[in-house]
């Protein structure tokens, strides 16, 4: 056996052609409609099915179905390799011969609650592709159904960028941009998405706004012009629905306006912030670079409350790039609760942040504890 066969496929012009075909399929209205009202889990399943069954893309994408979730219909590939329901590993991709031995877009669907499982899948994929972990659709004693080491490892793994999409619309937008970055712009590394199956009650975003999900954050709800105190609420994944509900409670119960931002990747925001700081330090005479989070939040001083379903440290990553008073809230922030911070706890954290700033009386946070029976 030639050792050459053990090397992963390399990018070629055919790679870019294949990626362009996939992007064209993902831009079709029926695909956008399927993802608009879907959870991230359902959206990725629909995308995998659509790419595998479409005559223009089924031979131009590698789909690995390693997740024990419900598979989609089996579609044979033109070269005889089944890359749908029968393919539960990326290893066959290393042994392809002849003119078909070139890199194509890889969508790897798996379920793993451990770093070891993720590392095995990433090694199989040669540090490439879009890995989608649906562990969150199962119940577990861990936040977001993965061991605490998983988000820490993903945040420190410079070869990959982790995302926690809140909706199918976000998952589609991130997938499109990831395909563009890896297979058309030749950027190295892999992308990771955690998938949940909760549709939630999120307002639909414009395509222009949700496109920035790939950059790490975009504004979901603007604060109306008002003289009432304002706070900026950030949420990721399933917690974004809690944040939207908290914004409603702040408005109706406390006459406080909120600006709501979706932050699918606190890690990407943190990394880009550090990159901008480093560039500015090494180029003191050049025009300063501004990171995406600084562009979004600007220099306004209304407090920022960032919420995550992981441990608080994940949202804390962006704290040094926020010029305003900053508070992070995670699954481990409130020992009395199990799972994500509730909308009521987010309200109390927001009231306390405004109290610490001196905008409100701290008594209102105490009143909220009693009102929501959390004291």
For residues 264 and 298, membership in a common domain is answered with: yes
For residues 242 and 168, membership in a common domain is answered with: no
Tell which of 159, 194, 229 closes a domain: 194
Tell which of 194, 215, 245 closes a domain: 194
Element (H, E) at 107: strand 106-110
Query: Dihedral sign, CA of 243, 305, 236, 294?
Result: positive
Residue 202, domain member (yes or no): no
pLDDT digits (tens, 9 = 90+) for 256-274: 999 999 999 999 999 999 9
For residues 7 and 79, membership in a common domain is answered with: yes
What tokens appear for 166 in the block?
């809140």
Whether the predicted pLDDT of 370 surpasses 70 = yes
Mean pLDDT of 21-33: 94
Least confident window among 33-47, 59-73, 131-145? 59-73
What does the pLDDT read at residue 66? 87
Whether the predicted pLDDT of 7 surpasses 70 = no
Q: For position 145, which CATH number holds?
A: 3.40.50
pLDDT digits (tens, 9 = 90+) for 297-322: 998 899 999 999 999 999 999 999 99
Number of C-alpha atoms within 13 angstroms, CB side, residue 257? 12
Four-CA torsion 46, 51, 53, 56, nearest 10 degrees: 150
* Mean pLDDT, the chain, integer: 88
Residue 199, domain member (yes or no): no
For residues 283 and 160, membership in a common domain is answered with: no
Q: How far is CA 4 from the centre of its chain?
A: 36
Mean pLDDT of 128-156: 94
- First-last CA distance in the chain: 69
For residues 178 and 327, membership in a common domain is answered with: no
Containing structural domain, residue 99: 3-194
For residues 112 and 12, membership in a common domain is answered with: yes
What does the pLDDT read at residue 56? 92
pLDDT digits (tens, 9 = 90+) for 61-111: 989 998 886 655 444 444 444 444 446 677 666 666 555 567 889 999 999
CA gap 68, 133 in Å, rounded: 11
What does the pLDDT read at residue 228? 67
Identify any residues that bridge with 124 across adjacent strands, giving them in sequence order. none
Mean pLDDT of 345-365: 93
Which residues, including other chains, have CB under 8 Å from residue 109's CB and lie 6 or more apart?
A: 44, 45, 48, 63, 64, 65, 66, 67, 69, 132, 134
Whether the predicted pLDDT of 336 surpasses 70 = no
For residues 33 and 137, membership in a common domain is answered with: yes
H-state helical runs in 27-137 = 29-36, 40-53, 115-124
> Does the model's pTM come out above 0.75?
yes
CA gap 59, 75 in Å, rounded: 10
Residue 200, domain member (yes or no): no
For residues 168 and 24, membership in a common domain is answered with: yes
pLDDT band at 200 (very low <50, low <70, confident <90, very high): confident
* Percent share of the chain, pLDDT over 90: 70
Whether the predicted pLDDT of 284 surpasses 80 = yes
Residue count (the chain)? 375
What does the pLDDT read at residue 71? 56
Collapsed DSSP state (helix, strand, coil) of residue 282: helix
What does the pLDDT read at residue 86? 46
What does the pLDDT read at residue 96? 60
């Amino acid at each position: 056996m030639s050792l050459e066969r053990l090397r992963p496929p390399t990018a070629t012009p055919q790679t870019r052609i294949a990626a362009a075909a996939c992007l064209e399929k993902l831009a079709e209205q029926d695909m956008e409609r399927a993802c608009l009202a879907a959870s991230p889990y359902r959206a990725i399943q629909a995308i995998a099915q659509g790419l595998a069954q479409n005559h223009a893309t089924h031979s131009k994408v590698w789909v690995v179905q390693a997740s024990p979730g419900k598979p989609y219909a089996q579609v044979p590939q033109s070269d005889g390799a089944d890359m749908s329901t029968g393919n539960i590993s990326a290893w066959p991709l290393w042994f392809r011969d002849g003119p078909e031995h070139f890199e194509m877009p890889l969508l790897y669907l798996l379920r793993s609650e451990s770093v070891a499982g993720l590392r095995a899948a990433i090694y199989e994929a040669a540090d490439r592709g879009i890995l989608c972990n649906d562990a969150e659709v199962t119940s577990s004693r861990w936040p977001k159904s993965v061991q605490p080491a998983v988000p820490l490892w993903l945040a420190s793994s410079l070869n990959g960028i982790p995302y926690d999409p809140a909706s199918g619309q976000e998952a589609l937008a991130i997938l499109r941009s990831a395909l563009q970055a890896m297979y058309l712009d030749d950027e190295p590394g892999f992308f990771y998405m955690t998938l949940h199956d909760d549709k939630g009650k999120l307002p639909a975003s414009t395509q222009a706004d949700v496109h920035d999900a790939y950059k790490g954050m975009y504004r979901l709800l603007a604060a109306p012009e008002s003289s009432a105190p304002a706070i900026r609420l950030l949420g990721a994944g399933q917690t974004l629905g809690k944040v939207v509900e908290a914004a409603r409670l702040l408005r109706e119960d406390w006459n406080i306006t909120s600006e709501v931002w979706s932050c699918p990747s606190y890690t990407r925001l943190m990394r880009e912030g550090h990159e901008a700081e480093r560039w500015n330090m090494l180029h003191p005479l050049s025009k300063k670079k501004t990171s995406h989070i600084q562009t979004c939040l600007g220099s306004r001083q209304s407090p920022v409350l960032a919420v995550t379903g992981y441990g608080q440290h994940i949202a804390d990553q962006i704290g040094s790039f926020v010029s305003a008073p900053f508070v992070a809230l995670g699954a481990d922030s409130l020992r009395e609760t199990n799972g994500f911070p509730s909308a009521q706890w987010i309200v109390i954290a927001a009231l306390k942040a405004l109290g610490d700033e001196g905008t409100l009386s701290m008594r209102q946070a105490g009143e909220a504890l009693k009102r929501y029976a959390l004291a």
